Chains A and B, each alone.
Chain A
Amino acid sequence: MKIMQAVRTRACCAALLAAGVFGAASPLLAHHSFTMFDMTKRVTLIGTITSFEWTNPHAYIEIDVPDEKGVVKHWSIELGSPSILMQSGWKFNSIKAGEKLTLIINPMKSGQAGGFLSTATLPDGRTLSNGPQRPQ
């Protein structure tokens, strides 16, 4: 597996969209605000899923990500709730442990190995977002 962990700090449109949808002042939040995540940064993680938790109030992807030297670091990535994710095409069995995945996340401001999902590229090549798609 190609080892890659790239950190980018650019205000790309997707990040701005995410910030708009999930920002602290957003009326779209049911559980908590997203101030703990840096919505202006995006980190790409390529690794192996250790678990996919289809749960409320959030779903989670647990993933092992090796760096350039092969040293594996474990990340916990928070997603929306199943209801929100289903609007973006997710299912409870979209991914499973052992599969390889590419994630783009907004990392935690604390520097810990955690973040909020922006997009996930699945083994079948589909890229799924983490935001609501339902028109309002």
Chain B
Amino acid sequence: MTALHVHHLIRKIGLALGSIAILAVAPASAPAQTPGNTPDFTGVWGIYRGAKGADPKFTPPAPSPLVLKPEYDKPYQARRAEESAAAQRGEQLASSGVQCIPYGVPSMMSIAIYPVEFIQTAKQVTIISEAFSEVRRVYLDRPQAKMDDVAPGYYGRSVGHWDGDTLVVDTVGIKPAVSGYRGMPHSPQMHIVERIRMLSPEILHDQITIEDPVVLEKPVTYTLAFKRMASDYEMVEFVCDNNREYVDDKGVVRLKLHDK
């Protein structure tokens, strides 16, 4: 055995002993919050509504009531009434989605039946929605910024930490123009807390609580359920480059037809 072989052998033994030492002290120094002990959300998840006969513990619980302050509730209800009346006439009023404007947080987590992909590392969880190819990044174990320091956008700033087997995600900085939960209005003070947890290897829940002291009488909480899709599912490209729906001068959605 050459000196070089001896050196490699000693190094390997050292690394192995080091690994054993880390494993031995891990439970005491860093319990469930270490990346090695956390569940792995990585993969593609489809919206799960719980078909007939499904295990009721996997179906999402009912949402809490959406209660807006009167000054916001009045125009909100008026808009809902306008939308219903338009639908009765066979018309749809303009919405962000019609114009291919991003859904943002939190709506991008549940766009129709399109799946979302989680990519999890020790320092970041990245979530990509297939619809409109929207991306949000959750930075782990970093402090949240002050609301005033976050430029308002579609995805805001999300930080997260592990609470046992649950990923707790805190988001601020969603600009008021972004369509809210059930179309609710929101202020720059909207604060979103998500508790994301796997109930089984195949089922994941995202409990979303929205606080907004300006707009809401009380926080609203709803839960999305997801089912893990086949491991070989490949996310489909979704670039909104052929949007034939447009909004006319009355705010009604129309379809552009081609002559040829």
Which residues of A have CB within 8 Å of B25? none
> Quick one: which of A84-123 are within 8 Å of B by CB?
84, 86, 108-109, 112-114
Q: Is the Cβ of A132 less than 8 Å from the Cβ of B98? A: no
Q: Is the Cβ of B90 less than 8 Å from the Cβ of A134? A: no
Measured between C-beta atoms, what is the minimum distance from B251 to chain A in Å?
13
Q: Is the Cβ of A83 less than 8 Å from the Cβ of B258? A: no
Q: Is the Cβ of B112 less than 8 Å from the Cβ of A86? A: no
Q: Is the Cβ of A32 less than 8 Å from the Cβ of B98? A: yes
Q: Is the Cβ of A86 less than 8 Å from the Cβ of B113? A: no
State in angstroms the CA–CA spacing of A32 and B254 once bound together.
Answer: 10
Main secondary structure of the interface of B (DSSP, over half): loop
- A-B pair count, CB < 8 Å, reads 103
In the complex formed, the residue of A with least CB distance to B236 is A83
Which residues of B have CB within 8 Å of A76? 244, 255, 257-258
Q: Is the Cβ of A78 less than 8 Å from the Cβ of B238? A: no
In the complex formed, the residue of B with least CB distance to A87 is B113
Using known A-B contacts A31-B98, A32-B98, determine if residue A81 contacts B238 with beta carbons closer than 8 Å: yes
A30 at the interface (CB under 8 A from B): yes
Measured between C-beta atoms, what is the minimum distance from B74 to chain A in Å?
23
A55 at the interface (CB under 8 A from B): yes
State in angstroms the CA–CA spacing of A134 and B91 once bound together.
Answer: 29
State in angstroms the CA–CA spacing of A90 and B36 once bound together.
Answer: 41
Which residues of A have CB within 8 Å of B237? 56, 82
Q: Is the Cβ of B112 less than 8 Å from the Cβ of A27? A: yes
> Quick one: which of B84-125 are within 8 Å of A by CB?
86-87, 90-92, 95, 97-98, 100, 110-114
Chain B residue total in the interface (Cβ 8 A): 40
B248-260 Cβ-contact flags toward A at 8 Å (1 or 0): 0000011101111
Q: Is the Cβ of B253 less than 8 Å from the Cβ of A32? A: yes
State in angstroms the CA–CA spacing of A32 and B130 once bound together.
Answer: 17
State in angstroms the CA–CA spacing of A114 and B238 once bound together.
Answer: 23
Which residues of A have CB within 8 Å of B239? 56
Using known A-B contacts A132-B113, A135-B51, determine if residue A74 contacts B238 with beta carbons closer than 8 Å: no
In the complex formed, the residue of B with least CB distance to A25 is B87
Measured between C-beta atoms, what is the minimum distance from B19 to chain A in Å?
42
Which residues of A have CB within 8 Å of B242? 53, 55-58, 60
B240 at the interface (CB under 8 A from A): yes
Measured between C-beta atoms, what is the minimum distance from B18 to chain A in Å?
46
B71 at the interface (CB under 8 A from A): no
Which residues of A have CB within 8 Å of B49? 136
B245 at the interface (CB under 8 A from A): yes
Q: Which of B51, B98, B237, B242 has the most CB of A within 10 A?
A: B242
Q: Is the Cβ of A82 less than 8 Å from the Cβ of B244? A: no
Measured between C-beta atoms, what is the minimum distance from B70 to chain A in Å?
26
In the complex formed, the residue of B with least CB distance to A86 is B236
Which residues of A have CB within 8 Å of B255? 36, 76, 78, 108, 114
11 pairs, A vs B, C-beta closer than 8 Å: A30-B97, A32-B245, A36-B90, A36-B92, A57-B240, A58-B242, A62-B260, A83-B238, A114-B255, A132-B113, A136-B51
Known: A24-B92, A36-B255, A109-B90. 18 other contacts (CB 8 A): A27-B112, A30-B132, A35-B92, A36-B92, A36-B253, A50-B260, A56-B238, A56-B240, A57-B100, A62-B260, A76-B255, A83-B114, A83-B130, A83-B238, A86-B236, A114-B255, A134-B113, A136-B227
